[in-house]
Structure 1
Amino acid sequence: MNPITNPYAPGAGAPPPALAGRDDLRERVHVAIERARRGRHAKSVILVGLRGVGKTVLLDRMRLDCEARGNQTIRVEAPEGRSLPAILAPRLRSVLLGLSRVAAARDLADRALRALVGFARSLKVTFNDIEVGLDREPEPGLADNGDLEADLGVLLEQAGLAARQAGVAIALFIDELQYLEESQLAALISALHHCSQRQLPIVMVGAGLPQLRGRAGNAKSYAERLFDYPDVGPLTREEDLRQALIEPALEEGVEYTDGAFRAVLSHTGGYPYFLQEWGASAWKVATASPITEQDVEAATEQAIAELDQSFFMVRFDRLTPAEKSYLRAMAELGAGPHRSGEIAAKAGRTSASLAPIRNNLIQKGMIWSPSHGDTAFTVPLFDAFLKRVMPEFEPG
């Protein structure tokens, strides 16, 4: 079939042809932002889920939804090794410059920009990666104490006052939120809490791995009441699965047999990223419509090879030999979750001796703890990949 019209989009953050099964979450976020815009109580939202469920794509679609209603947005990713002030300040400056062009909000937006100058200058010593264009003089005493938690609260308050005067909300869309260092996460939570108490139109929509619930609670005990934590999981309803896999092909005049559809589901578990990968590979293998079960099985080797090279290997390459060995012991036990003691026994070690390795893997976002003493992969199908890339299991 024509490779130019292949409708599937397997890629990190690449928008799929159909965003299936996420309408309820989009509506929840829309309601929260619009309530905040009107000065009503609204919880911020943190989307949690494993790799490959489409959190980034969903976050970007929600941002477009928000902007389409006239609101201001800040879209950042919290990568390892960069500070919250560094990723937030330049985007906030752009939003405030936009608000300064609204006549009713000009004075408040200008004051917020002066607060941003004081914020950046006072924290430059602590966070030397802050780089933001500063064309105003700071206002002494405004967000310039050099304490991130206190100053961020004042800064977002000033931005919220300007947004309220302009009749809009400011929504912070932050991906990979689990990589924020705990004190910076605590400062962000505190600042959002302060804005919520003042009924200012500032809302955060975050996304990250499942351990975010626990990390937010550890950072600030009231985070449980400040945020909603909807799970973003694999697609389970048949209508959503058909929308994701079959409808894009139908728009190009290509059908699937029911056997082909079921075969894709058995290989992918309904994870959106994997659906795109198998769909793209099946399209390449098939010679005519309909795509058959035989086409899907023939495409499976290609789909797995693509996943190994891109989705899995980029994560595997970040690991130390000791971390790879730990994960390989997990894989020997199956998909999981597994008790820490079982992993240690399989590895031929004690749980205490493996604890630092386990903690490092959690920090790198490779594993998480669904419940006390349990350990699970954050990357679906990673156990099978580890057996392919490390076929010989050697304990110890």
Structure 2
Amino acid sequence: MDPVRNPFAPGAGRRPRELAGRQAIVEDARVAIERAMLCKPSRSQIFLGLRGVGKTVLLNTVEHMATERGHLTSSIEAPENKSLGEQLLPRIHQVLRKLSIIENAKGKTFDAMRALKSFAAAFRLEYGDMTISVDPEVGVADSGDLENDLPELFVRVGDAAKAAGKAWTLLIDEIQYLSEKDFAALIASLHKTSQKDLPVLFFGAGLPQVAALSGDAKSYSERLFHFPEVGALSDKDAIAAIRQPILDEGAMIDNDALAEIILKTRGYPYFLQEWGHQTWNLASDNKITLKDTQQAEATTLARLDQGFFKVRFNRLTPKEREYVIAMAQLGNGPYRSSDIADALGETPQSLGPRRAQIISKGMIYSPSHGDVAFTVPMFNEYLLRNLANLS
């Protein structure tokens, strides 16, 4: 079929034509966004799930909804080597510049700008091409203690947004890469704005361990956040994610072809998009058949291996690669740390630092004490499929 009309576009954070199976999450976000505009409290949300399940797509969808409903938004992808303060400085400055042109908010925005200037000076943050042309406010957000200063800054931003009849929504992707200190300060800041009924809302996305990390950072985080789990789609939703875009293009797909795609992808959204994309390009006569999906398997797996799996495997050191290959050879996870140690002829204690480093790189996580699992769906199958080339 015509590749120009192909309705499937696999890519990081790219919204699929049919956002199936996420309606409840999107609706909860909409309610929170609209309540924030009324200064009514709502729990902030952190989407949890493995790689390739569409967490970033949800963040982008939420940001679009918030913007449409009068929120000013700031979007961040948490890096592994940059502080939260460095990331927030230019984004908060941008929000305050937008608020500064609203007559009712000029006084509160000026106060927030002064707090931001104090914050930047206290943490020696670079401005780049940005200038904050106000004097810092002594005694506000300038102690050099992030957990004390960031809440004060958030309150000033919330006050300015409220005066303007607006709301501020902060969105952070890959939140597991925040340091514990930064995460604790963020939680404390959101707690403070929530206590004051300010129109400040937060949406994050991260790997499954984030819920535990938030609890470690602040014990009250479970009362502050809602943690929607974003996983593989049900068969019904996975079928809709494939069938509806095809029908929208005036084409058709056989039921057995649909069943084959669902079986091979196990309902994971990124894999569905890749399989759908390759199958469409192979099909003819405006109809996708079982033969088309079967013929697409080699191309699809090659694309996934090169563009989804390999880039993550390449981040690992040789010793870390040895560890994850040993995991894969044990079968399907989760895996006992002691079993991995036995397979490598070492002790769990000696492998502890290696395990921790792989976790810090976002490749594995600990679903329960003593267990580890891959953060990438079907990663064990990739390793076994390519074992001869990886060892």
| TM-score of the two chains, using structure 2 as the length reference | 0.97
Aligned to 1:265: 262
Provide, for residues 71-106 of structure 1, a one-character-per-residue CA deviation record: whole Å limited to 9, x for no partner. Answer: 111111101111101111111111111111111111
Corresponding letter in the other structure for 2:270:
Y
Asked if 1:145 is matched to 2:148, the reply is no
RMSD of aligned Cα (Å): 1.6
Which aligned pairs between 1:308-387 and structure 2 lie closer than 5 A? Answer: 308-387=305-384
Secondary structure in structure 1 of the residue aligned to 2:253: coil
Change (3 A) 1:280 1:314: same
Corresponding letter in the other structure for 2:332:
A
2:36·2:199 contact (CA, 8 Å) conserved in 1? yes
1:41·1:196 contact (CA, 8 Å) conserved in 2? yes
Corresponding letter in the other structure for 1:192:
L
1:90·1:133 contact (CA, 8 Å) conserved in 2? no
CA distance in 2 between counterparts of 1:113 and 1:311 reads: 42
CA distance in 1 between counterparts of 2:163 and 2:389 reads: 64
Asked if 1:283 is matched to 2:261, the reply is no
CA distance in 2 between counterparts of 1:23 and 1:170 reads: 23
Asked if 1:249 is matched to 2:224, the reply is no
2:233·2:267 contact (CA, 8 Å) conserved in 1? yes
Change (3 A) 1:73 1:304: same
Aligned to 1:95: 95
Aligned to 2:230: 232
Secondary structure in structure 2 of the residue aligned to 1:46: strand
CA distance in 2 between counterparts of 1:40 and 1:326 reads: 48
Change (3 A) 1:104 1:393: closer
Structure 1: tracts of 5 or more residues without a match = none
Aligned to 2:131: 133
Deviates more, 1:267-276 or 1:10-19: 10-19
Corresponding letter in the other structure for 2:61:
R
CA distance in 1 between counterparts of 2:119 and 2:224 reads: 24
Which aligned pairs between 1:63-212 and structure 2 lie closer than 5 A? Answer: 63-124=63-124, 132-212=130-210
Asked if 1:36 is matched to 2:36, the reply is yes
1:221 positional shift: 1.0
1:34·1:169 contact (CA, 8 Å) conserved in 2? no
Corresponding letter in the other structure for 1:383:
N
CA distance in 2 between counterparts of 1:393 and 1:135 reads: 55
Corresponding letter in the other structure for 1:272:
P
Which of 291, 298, 301 is the matching residue for 1:304?
A: 301
Provide, for residues 360-391 of structure 1, a one-character-per-residue CA deviation record: whole Å limited to 9, x for no partner. Answer: 11111111111111111000010011113323
1:85·1:130 contact (CA, 8 Å) conserved in 2? no
CA distance in 1 between counterparts of 2:382 and 2:336 reads: 21
Question: How many residues are matched?
Answer: 391
Secondary structure in structure 2 of the residue aligned to 1:275: helix
1:129 positional shift: 8.7
CA distance in 1 between counterparts of 2:158 and 2:364 reads: 37
Corresponding letter in the other structure for 1:71:
H
CA distance in 2 between counterparts of 1:294 and 1:349 reads: 47
Structure 2: tracts of 5 or more residues without a match = none
Secondary structure in structure 2 of the residue aligned to 1:10: coil
Secondary structure in structure 1 of the residue aligned to 2:93: helix
1:86·1:129 contact (CA, 8 Å) conserved in 2? no
1:15 positional shift: 1.6
Which aligned pairs between 1:13-24 and structure 2 lie closer than 5 A? Answer: 13-24=13-24
Identical aligned residues as a percent: 48
CA distance in 1 between counterparts of 2:271 and 2:22 reads: 17
CA distance in 2 between counterparts of 1:131 and 1:367 reads: 38
Secondary structure in structure 1 of the residue aligned to 2:169: strand
Secondary structure in structure 1 of the residue aligned to 2:171: strand
Corresponding letter in the other structure for 1:225:
R
Secondary structure in structure 2 of the residue aligned to 1:73: strand
CA distance in 1 between counterparts of 2:351 and 2:96 reads: 48
Corresponding letter in the other structure for 1:287:
S
1:347 positional shift: 2.2
Provide, for residues 23-66 of structure 1, a one-character-per-residue CA deviation record: whole Å limited to 9, x for no partner. Answer: 11011112223223322221111100000100001100111011
